[in-house]
């Protein structure tokens, strides 16, 4: 069986910044393999393109440029927000506005965003709405642990429900 549309694909991988010598961002080695349904838009398009046609046991190593992953950093996505916006019952919860904290926010239209506290001033807070991996080239290496047909319920829900060895 090969990696193709509507297949449940299970991989072990290591994700590093920029190249094989870069800082490790994430690794599935030592845990269960990462499973996803190929071809339904769940993964970065270039990630899927690099796995297409591989078989169980095949290895992979490839780089996805920042522009094709989570985008380049956009300095205009760092915005000043008045401090009073963060008040709950008239005060700002202790520890909320710490540099590096990820804060879920909702705009006036009800859209949800995660922002990272960049800096805190007397009257406002600079919040960075760039994806945390914006501006970083991604280097993936690993192997295909298993492939199986995704069942109709998984395809409808957009994610795998069972491991490759648990579902026939």
pLDDT number for residue 168:
41
Helix/strand/coil percent split, the chain, to 5: 15, 40, 50
Q: How confident is the model at residue 165 (pLDDT cuts 50, 70, 90)?
A: low
Domain residue spans of the chain: 7-70+134-157, 75-128
Sheet architecture: strand order including 124-128: 78-82, 124-128, 112-120, 102-106
- Weakest-pLDDT range from 65-69, 85-89, 134-138: 85-89
Contact criterion met (CB below 8 Å) for 4 and 52: yes
Would you say residue 167 has pLDDT above 60? no
CA distance linking residue 97 with residue 29, whole number of Å: 34
The arrangement of secondary structure in 7-70+134-157, i.e. its CATH architecture, is Roll (3.10)
pTM of the model: 0.82
pLDDT tens digits, one per residue of 110-151:
989 999 999 999 999 999 999 999 999 999 999 999 999 999
Would you say residue 163 has pLDDT above 90? no
CATH placement of domain 75-128? 2.40.10.330
């Amino acid at each position: 069986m090969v990696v193709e549309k509507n297949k449940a694909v299970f991989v072990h991988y290591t994700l590093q910044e920029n190249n094989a010598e870069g800082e490790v961002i994430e690794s599935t080695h030592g845990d269960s393999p990462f499973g996803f349904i190929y071809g339904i838009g769940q993964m970065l398009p270039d990630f899927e393109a690099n796995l297409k046609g591989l078989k169980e046991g095949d290895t992979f190593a490839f780089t996805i440029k920042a522009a094709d992953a989570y985008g380049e950093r956009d300095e205009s996505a760092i915005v000043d927000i008045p401090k009073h916006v963060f008040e709950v019952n008239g005060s700002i919860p202790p520890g909320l506005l710490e540099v590096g904290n990820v804060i879920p926010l909702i705009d006036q239209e009800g859209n949800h965003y995660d922002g990272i506290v960049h800096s805190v001033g007397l009257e406002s807070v600079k919040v960075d709405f760039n994806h945390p991996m914006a501006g970083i080239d991604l280097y993936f290496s690993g192997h295909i642990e298993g492939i199986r047909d995704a069942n109709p319920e998984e395809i409808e829900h957009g994610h795998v429900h069972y491991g490759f060895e648990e579902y026939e």
